[in-house]
Amino acid sequence: MALRRSRRVIGNPGNRRVQLFLEESRAPGRDQGLAPWDTSSWADVLAGRIPGAGCLTRIDSPGEDEHVKRALVARGGGEPVEHPHGAIWGLGAAARGLQLAAEALEAAGHRLTVPADDLRVLCDKHACQRRLARSGVPVPQIVGLVHSYAELLELLHEAREPRVFVKPRHGSSATGVLAWETDGTRHQARAALEIAGTEGRPQLFNHLRVRRYSDPNTLERIVNGLCSQSGPGGLHVERWIPKAGFGGRTFDLRVLVIAGRARHRVVRTSKGPLTNLHLGNARGDIAQIQKHLGSEHWDDIGRVAEAAARCFQDSIALGVDVLAGLDGHARVAEVNAFGDLLPGVLHEGQSTYAAQLEAYAAALALA
Partner 1 sequence: MNLSSHCTEFAGHKVQLFDPTKPLAGQATDIASVAWRAGGPFNYDDETMSIKTAFAALAKDPDVGQIRALVVGTWASYENDAPGGALILENAAKLGGLEHLFLADIVGEESEISWIEHGELGPLFGALPKLKTLVIRGGAMKFDCKGSETLQKLVVQSGGMPPASVAQLGAASWPALEHLELWLGTDAYGGGSKPEHLQGILNGQSFPSVRWLGLMNSDNADQVAAALMQSPLLAQVRDLDLSMGILTDEGGKALLEAAGSLAHLNSLHLGHHYFGDATRAQVAGALPMVRGLDEPGESDDDGEGGVWRFVEVAE
Closest CB to partner 1 among 77 and 242?
A: 242
Member of 209, 278, 291, 310 binding partner 1 (CB under 8 A): 209
Member of 148, 182, 228, 290 binding partner 1 (CB under 8 A): 182
- Pair 365, 353: CB distance under 8 Å: no
The answer to the question of residue 296 lying near partner 1 (CB under 8 A) is no
Smallest gap from Cβ 203 to partner 1, in A, equals 16
Bridging pattern class, strands 7-11 and 56-59: parallel
x-or-dash string of contact with partner 1, 221-240, rule CB under 8 A: ------------------xx
The answer to the question of residue 310 lying near partner 1 (CB under 8 A) is no
User: Residue 202: beta bridge partners?
Assistant: 197
The answer to the question of residue 248 lying near partner 1 (CB under 8 A) is yes
Closest CB to partner 1 among 109 and 247?
A: 247
Give the separation between CA 317 and CA 352, rounded to whole angstroms: 9
Give the separation between CA 335 and CA 313, rounded to whole angstroms: 13
Alpha carbon of 26 to those of 30, 216, 306, 353, 359: distances in Å?
Answer: 7, 55, 29, 11, 16
Member of 85, 134, 160, 201 binding partner 1 (CB under 8 A): 160
Bridging pattern class, strands 235-239 and 142-146: antiparallel
Which is nearest to 254 in space by CA: 302, 296, 187, 295? 302
Closest CB to partner 1 among 160 and 201?
A: 160
Member of 54, 171, 233, 273 binding partner 1 (CB under 8 A): 273
Q: Which three-class secondary structure state does DSSP give residue 265? A: strand
Residues in the interface with partner 1 (CB under 8 A) total 29
Residue 323: CA atoms inside 13 Å, Cβ hemisphere, count? 23
- Applying CB under 8 A, the residues found at the interface with partner 1 are 141, 160-162, 181-184, 188, 209, 212, 239-240, 242-250, 271-273, 325-328
